[in-house]
Amino acid sequence: MSPALFTLFAALTLASAVGVVANKNVVNAAMCFLLGLVGVAGLFVQLDAYLLAFLLLLVYAGAVVVLFLFIVMLLGPQGRAAWRLTPGAVVGGLVAGALLLAGWGSLLVHGRLDPPPPDGAPGVGAALKPYAYQLFTTYLLPVQVMGFLLLVAMLGVIVLSRKADGTEKAP
Amino acid sequence: MITATLDHYLLLSAALFALGFLGVLLRRNALVIFMSLELMLVASTLALVAFSRFNRTLDGNVFVFFILTVAAAEVAVGLAIIVALFRQRHTLQVDELNALKH
């Protein structure tokens, strides 16, 4: 784990996240999201999770961001005020920021979470075989449930994307 | 230069999560809110992978597997809802989508 690479990817991720939240243009925000995903995938590689880095790029950058861009193109630009600065939202944001700072502070002051840093040996997640073993033994039921969830999601999307009044006829 | 420890990854993950939360709270466009939501999910996966790496277990990585699946399904359904909403109301501004409020 190279510290320079960590700094680089962390900076890239944080800058892109700020870009997502602060950008007025939705297309630019989606592009920033894409960059941030590349940064997170780089961090995954630093953590020896090569498969997950690959999947993140494939599923998120390849499918999700493209879907977002597709919907943005479909719905057209929305030229309105971008921020919702109601008192409730501002107070909520301030409270969330204060909680984050408190959590950071307590982690820095008495965080003894650190296991010793890995000693150069590749992580457990580096190889493909343990994943397959885990997915087909310990996590077999969750895998089945995930398959069912994907089926239900697909059916739900088909139902949702029909015309609401049901006038659409089969060809 | 110091090496990256678990604390660094957790701090980064918390910062990402906070930025996503800020986006959900403060933006008006439903698509941007949805994107910020995805940012929060990615932040949680980063924490899981970091814990998994530093504790030498595989469970966190397998959870990330499932989170990716759920996120993909969630994006599909969420975007379908947004499109259906836009067809009915012709707006994406969450302030104007207040039919359940009145």
Q: Residues A3-51: pLDDT tens digits?
A: 888 999 999 999 999 999 988 888 899 999 999 999 999 999 988 889 9
Q: Measure in Å the smallest separation between the Cα of A21 and chain B Cα atoms.
A: 5
Q: What is the pLDDT of residues B41-85, one digit of tens each?
A: 999 999 999 999 888 888 899 999 999 999 999 999 999 998 888
What is the arithmetic mean of pLDDT over B20-48? 91
Residue indicated by tokens 């359940």? B100
Distant-in-sequence, close-in-space partners of A92: CB < 8 Å, separation ≥ 6: B25
Torsion-angle region of A4 (φ positive above 0: left; ψ -120 to 50: alpha; else: beta): alpha
Nearest to B93 among A17, A46, A78 (CB): A78
Contacts of A111 in chain B (CB under 8 A): 7
The fold of the A1-78 domain, in CATH, is: Four Helix Bundle (Hemerythrin (Met), subunit A) (1.20.120)
Q: What is the pLDDT of residue A141?
A: 94
Task: Please report the domains of chain B, with CATH numbers, ordered by start residue.
Answer: 6-96 (1.10.287.3510)
pTM above 0.80, yes or no: yes
Q: What is the pLDDT of residue A112?
A: 66
Chain-centroid distance, C-alpha A148: 22
Query: What is the count of residue pairs from A and B with beta carbons less than 8 Å apart?
Result: 238
Mean pLDDT of all residues in chain B?
87
On the question of pLDDT at B88 being above 90, the answer is no
What ipTM was estimated for this complex? 0.90
Banded pLDDT at B28 (limits 50, 70, 90): confident
Strand, coil or helix: B93: strand
Domain borders along chain A are 1-78, 127-164
CB-CB neighbours of A100 under 10 Å: 18
Which candidate, B42, B33, B19, places its Cα nearest to that of A68? Answer: B33
Contacts of A53 in chain B (CB under 8 A): none
Nearest to A153 among B16, B25, B73 (CB): B73
Q: What is the pLDDT of residue A120?
A: 64
Q: Please give the residue of chain B at the shortest CA–CA distance from A36.
A: B39
What is the arithmetic mean of pLDDT over B14-19? 91
Q: What is the pLDDT of residue A152?
A: 95
Which candidate, B97, B99, B23, B79, places its Cα nearest to that of A63? Answer: B79
CB of A26 less than 8 A from some CB of B: yes
Distant-in-sequence, close-in-space partners of A89: CB < 8 Å, separation ≥ 6: B25, B26
Q: A141-145, B24-28, B92-96: which range is least confident on average?
A: B92-96
Which ranges of chain A have pLDDT less than 50?
none
